[in-house]
Structure 1
Amino acid sequence: MGIILRPISLNDGPFIVKWRNDDRVKSHCMSKSSITIESNEAFFHANVETGKYKQFIVDFIDRDFPMVSYPIASVYLKDMDYENKRCELCIFTSSDREWNIESQSMGIKLLLDKAFNEYGMYKVYSYIFSKFPEEVVLFKKAGFLIESILKAEALNDKGDYEDVIRMTIFKPK
């Protein structure tokens, strides 16, 4: 199995809209609102083109035909703070069967490499709803530690507040 990260483009908009509007993906996001091609395009211009977000498409490389790849998810770094050398790491869940624990782990490691070695970050953090302990395990395997638990931090789709775990990793020495 193999994956690569490639910079996102406007042509990837239909994938982002499909993945982001999936109820399973929304349950992992702070914002539960749906997006459209138009709102995604506006987001792209305001955040990706300006460098506030470093967003990538995760392309799955076919085992039998290594020249063939296709998109299975998106990962990104946001709130790029070059002065303090920190940013937030986010991954989209998706319904693609290839976007499993193994490929998610690989995607996180590839993105961390970019954060530390390409963008010069010292600290990378991520927010995970406490109701998703499997994600906490996934991030721990990548080297993240629990930094804090934010009580009643975000609303869920039922209007109830949920705890969010902030996980952090520092650049290896």
Structure 2
Amino acid sequence: MLNKFFSLFRVFMMKIKILVFKVSHPHSLVVGQKLRFRKRLSLRADAGGKINIGDCVFFNNDVSINARELVTIGSHVLIGENVKIYDHNHAFGKNYEGVQPNTFKTAPITIGDGVWIGSNVTILKGVTIGSRAIIAAGTVVNQDVQPDVIYQEKRSFEQIPIHYRED
């Protein structure tokens, strides 16, 4: 009987652990009303970064937001699974010898009201996404998006036949 109790307790605790979201610095986070999220939401604000989230925002599974400056998300925004948002990248170039692990270039990200961001989207530093825009699944957003548009990457694919050797 006691083993059954501990077994059920362990399953219950595992479910709670999966549903919890992680916030690295709670004082750097401003959240509006009716925030909803599924599993594994990670909000990370380092080095004075801030994350501002409006009202009625929904995050699907495995969303990660990383701010070293500022990420602002408007109200009534839907964010799909596995979305990654970064307002910084590592500094590199002729003034640096290789990638510097603790040196970053930052620029704020702003996501307007009523935006829908599809699954597996990556949003990079310095981007503003206009209100009511739709970001297609799998897109990398590295430039501003106008309001009321569908933004998607155009990809071309090639099918190359496999020629097997006959021995």
| Structure with more of its chain in helix, by fraction | 1
Query: Do Structure 1 and Structure 2 share a fold, with TM-score over 0.5?
Result: no
Greater C-alpha Rg: 2
TM superposition score category, shorter chain reference:
under 0.3
Relative to its length, the structure with more strand (as a share) is: 1
Higher relative contact order (CA 8 A, sep 6+): 1
